[in-house]
Amino acid sequence: ALDIGRDLGTAILNVRAFEREHRLVKELQALDQYKGQLIATVAHELKNPLTSIVGYLEMLEAEDVNAGVQQALSAMDRGARRMVRVIDDLLLLSKVGDPSNPVIPRPVDLSTVARDVVDLTSLAAGKRDLTVDVVAPAYPVLANGDPDELDRLLSNLVSNAVKYTEPGRAVTVALAREGDEVVVECRDEGFGISEADQEKLFTEFFRSTNPVAVAQPGTGLGLAIVARIVERHGGRIELDSALGRGSTFRVRLPAADPAS
C-alpha cells in the first residue's frame, strides 16, 4: 500500500511538471505570435510613408538641380530603397511565420520554378561573371506547396549563391525525386560558411562576420524566410559548407504525385 502511495505521488508530480511545461509552451507560442503581429504592424505602418518618400525622391531626381543636391538625392534614394527591401522582407517573414495562415498546397514543378529563378538572376550573375545552371531530370519534379513561396525559397538560395561566390565560378541548381520527397540542391563554389556561423545562419538579421561576405548588400532575412517556408511545407533543409570550399544548401520537400 505504501508503494502504491509513493507511485501515485510520483505520478501526480509528473502530471504537474507536464502541465507546467505545457503552460510554458503555450505562453511562448503566444509571445511568438505577438512578436509576429508587432513586426507586421510596424512594417505596414512604415511601408506607406516610405513609398511616398521614394516616389517624391524620384520626382526630385528628375529635376534640373546642381551636382551636390543630385548626389544627396541619390544617397537618400538608395537608403529609402534599402528600407523598402527590409520592410518587404519583414512583411514576408511575418506572413510565412504565421501559423494561422497555412500553405494551401498544390503540385508545383520545381524544374520550371528553378529555370525561372535562374533566368531572373542571370543579370546579377553576369555582372559577377558567374555561370548558373539548372540540372533537372526529364520528368517533372513535383513538390506539394505554394508556387510563390517555393519561388521565393529558390530565389533566396540562388541569389545568395551568386552574391557569396567569387567571380568566374559556377553555381548549380540540381533537382531530383527521391522516394516520396523532392530534393533541390543549390551548390556554389563560393566563400563557404564557418561552423560557428552555420549555427546562426537561419536566424533573423544574422549576417556572417566574414569580411568578403559582409561587403555584399543584404538584410540578413533571406535565410530566415527560407527556413520558415521549408518548415511550413513540412520539409527539411541541410547545409554542407566549409570556409573557402563553397556551400550546398539541400532542401527536401514532400513530393506531389503526378496524378494528384
- CB-count exposure of residue 228 (10 Å: 0-12, 13-18, 19+): buried
Q: Which is nearer to ligand ADP, 230 or 255 (CB)?
A: 230
Cβ neighbours, 10 Å, residue 33:
14
DSSP reduced 3-state for 220:
coil
Residue 36, interface with ligand ADP (CB under 6 A)?
no
Instruction: Give dist(CA 147, CA 236) in Å, integer.
Output: 17
Q: Which is nearer to ligand ADP, 118 or 221 (CB)?
A: 221
Phi, psi (deg, nearest 5) at residue 60: -65, -35
Closest CA to 129 of 164, 159, 170, 161: 170
DSSP reduced 3-state for 38:
helix
Min. distance of Cβ 203 from ligand ADP in angstroms? 9
- Residue 168 exposure: Cα atoms within 13 Å on the Cβ side: 0
Min. distance of Cβ 251 from ligand ADP in angstroms? 13
Binder among 97, 105, 145, 190 for ligand ADP (CB under 6 A): 190
* Region from 42-50, 98-106, 140-148, 215-223 binding ligand ADP, contact rule CB under 6 A: 215-223
Count of residues that bind ligand ADP according to CB under 6 A: 21
Cell 505504501, located at residue: 2
Binder among 247, 253, 255, 256 for ligand ADP (CB under 6 A): 247
Report strand pairing: 236-241 vs 247-254: antiparallel
Min. distance of Cβ 39 from ligand ADP in angstroms? 16
Q: Are 111 and 142 in contact (CB under 8 A)?
A: no
Q: Which is nearer to ligand ADP, 183 or 224 (CB)?
A: 224
Instruction: Give dist(CA 98, CA 81) in Å, integer.
Output: 26
Cell 538579421, located at residue: 205
Q: Are 239 and 252 in contact (CB under 8 A)?
A: no
Min. distance of Cβ 216 from ligand ADP in angstroms? 7
Q: Which is nearer to ligand ADP, 111 or 247 (CB)?
A: 247
Binder among 105, 145, 222, 235 for ligand ADP (CB under 6 A): 222
Cβ neighbours, 10 Å, residue 195:
9
Q: Which is nearer to ligand ADP, 146 or 188 (CB)?
A: 188
Binder among 152, 188, 235, 253 for ligand ADP (CB under 6 A): 188
Site string for ligand ADP, 127-166 (x = CB under 6 A): -----------------------------x---xx--x--
Site string for ligand ADP, 191-210 (x = CB under 6 A): x-x-------x----xxx--
Chain positions contacting ligand ADP, by CB under 6 A:
156, 160-161, 164, 188, 190-191, 193, 201, 206-208, 213, 218-224, 247
